[in-house]
Structure 1
Amino acid sequence: MGWKTSMVLIENRYGFNDETALLKAIGKANYEFDSEVTFEECLYPGDESINIGYHNNSIIICDDYQITVHALENADGLNLMPQETALVSLFPHSEILSVACHSVSDFHGYALIRRGLKTRLKIVIDAEVIEHGEPFDEEQKIYAKSYTEDGIRYWKEEEFPGEPFTEDCYMEEFTFGVAKRLLGVDLNTVAGYELTQNITFRKYKDPNAKPKEYPNFKMRTLEEEEKYNKRTKWVKYLFYLIFFLVVAYVKSCLRKQ
């Protein structure tokens, strides 16, 4: 499955819920409440919104790449970017984890802040790995399953006995394995999928934002849009079901050998 998502996860030690202060800290003070959405709906909103939810004593900000682009792609090594500094001022003793991936560009990355210091940054794009700091526990568990040959790290999977995987192909394993540190669950699993259906987020948008124009595409009517969304959602459900049935079948066959 092609994942596209961008999140900032904040350890919520003291039950913080001042979303106005949170929006101000990340430079979105003018954003206004728009609607309530599910976790699944805001993993990749595509509307330049900020979506805020709570789970596992953590604050989850689905930011549509607006914050993570600074924490990851535009990062200056382990130096804090302005948005990160503002969040640290609100949560000086908490862990702050920025995580993002985009399957189209074979990109994934994450940055971990502990007690005000960025201790880890890793970005993988088009097979190039850029990293600063030492891998933390969740990363080390994934790296422990790999091997190195000619300076390149590989992973082998029993379910896929062909060519080994390189690090850029391990996008989901790293993205959601790392996010599990604060979410408490891997989103790329059945339990993770259930979680995305059961958490309600509050969506905030810029009231003055101009709608994007797509002149080369026919605009759908509301009725057509509803039908399209329903069809897309059922296709996604079907993919999950087929994927997990195939994996279970392959594992069963391998155990019988």
Structure 2
Amino acid sequence: MGWKSSLIIIENKENFTDENEILNALGKSDYEFDRELTLDECIYPNDKSINIGYFNGNIVISDDYQITTNSLERADKLNLTKEEKNLVELFPTSEIVTVACHSAVNYHGYSVIENGIKKRLKIISSDEPRIEFGERIKEENEIYERSYTKDNKNFWKDDADPEEDFTEDQLMEDFTFGVAKRRIGILLDHSDGDELMEKVIFKKFKSPNQTSEVEELIKTEKKAKWIKYGIIILILIIWQILKRTVFKN
């Protein structure tokens, strides 16, 4: 399975359930409730939605890379982004874990905020070197301990084929879901993740002004059709003008 996901997992000490406040913190105050669904249906929504559920003492947010991209790829070292600062105001003593991955380029990244301070950040992909700040966390160390170093890079032996090695980006699922387990207590890419993936109800929120990909496609096709008609009409007009002037003489 090719995984595409981006999650913000917030320790929910006070049983917080005000989704509107969460949306405000994420800069999505205009978003409105759309429908209920499972994480399996919204882990990669691809519709610029925000999906919020509650599991094992945590708030789980599937954000379609909208917030996590800023928190990870565009991060300024361990400085908090605007959205992270807003979340910290809502949850000042909670641990906030952000994870994201995309199998097309073996990209994975994650960060950990504790008591309002970002303690850890790492991102890597198949075409980019590893970038990391802060001390490695326990969940990472458990994976790195199985590796060996060659040419200043980490490699992992393939149990099925001792002659083959895995590079760090190829362990995308191990790192992404291993770090997520720090908060949710289960591995999403294993059978113990079925409960969260298939049974927990999430609420989808979308911008009322946002059109779907299908609607955008229809608009594009209509626009292309009218451009085509416009060109044909223009050619006919020019032809009529030429007939009355150039060819008549």
TM-score of the two chains, using structure 2 as the length reference: 0.84
| Runs of 4+ more than 2 Å apart | 159-162, 210-215
1:157 paired with 2:137, answer no
**What's the C-alpha RMSD, in Å, of the aligned pairs?**
1.5
For 1:226-237, list aligned pairs within 5 A.
none
Q: Match of 1:136?
A: 137
Look up the match of 1:97. Answer: 97
Matches within 5 A, 1:69-218: 69-126=69-126, 128-212=129-213, 213-214=216-217
User: How big is the shift at 1:157?
Assistant: 3.0
After TM superposition, give the deviation of residue 160 of structure 1 in Å: 3.9
CA distance in 2, matches of 1:41, 1:163: 35
- Cα deviation, residue 162, structure 1: 3.7
Amino acid at match of 1:170: L
SS at 1:104 equivalent: coil
Gaps of 5+ in 2: 222-249
**Cα displacement (A) at 1:141:** 0.7
1:10-57: CA deviation from partner (whole Å, max 9, x where unpaired): 000111111110100100011000000001011001111000000110
Secondary structure of the residue aligned to 1:122 is: strand
DSSP-derived class of the 2:104 partner: helix
SS in structure 2 of the partner of residue 187 of structure 1: coil
**For residue 114 of structure 2, what is the amino acid of its counterpart?**
R
Structure-2 residue corresponding to 1:9: 9
Count matched residues: 217
Instruction: Give 1:29's aligned residue.
Output: 29
Distance 1:73 1:115 in 2: 22
The alpha-carbon deviation at position 152 of structure 1 amounts to: 1.1
% identical aligned pairs: 52
Give the match's secondary structure for 2:72: helix
User: Is residue 95–residue 112 contact of structure 2 (8 Å, CA) maintained in 1?
Assistant: yes
Mean CA deviation greater in 129-138 or 153-162: 153-162
The one-letter amino acid paired with 2:45 is P
Q: Distance in 1 between matches of 2:161 and 2:25?
A: 45
Shift of 1:101: 0.2
Equivalent pair of 2:72/2:110 in contact (CA under 8 Å): yes
Give 1:248's aligned residue. Answer: none
Q: Give the distance between the partners of 1:159 and 1:172, measured in 2 at CA.
A: 18
**What is the CA-CA distance between 1:211 and the residue it aligns to?**
2.8
TM-score scaled to structure 1, two decimals?
0.81
SS at 1:73 equivalent: coil
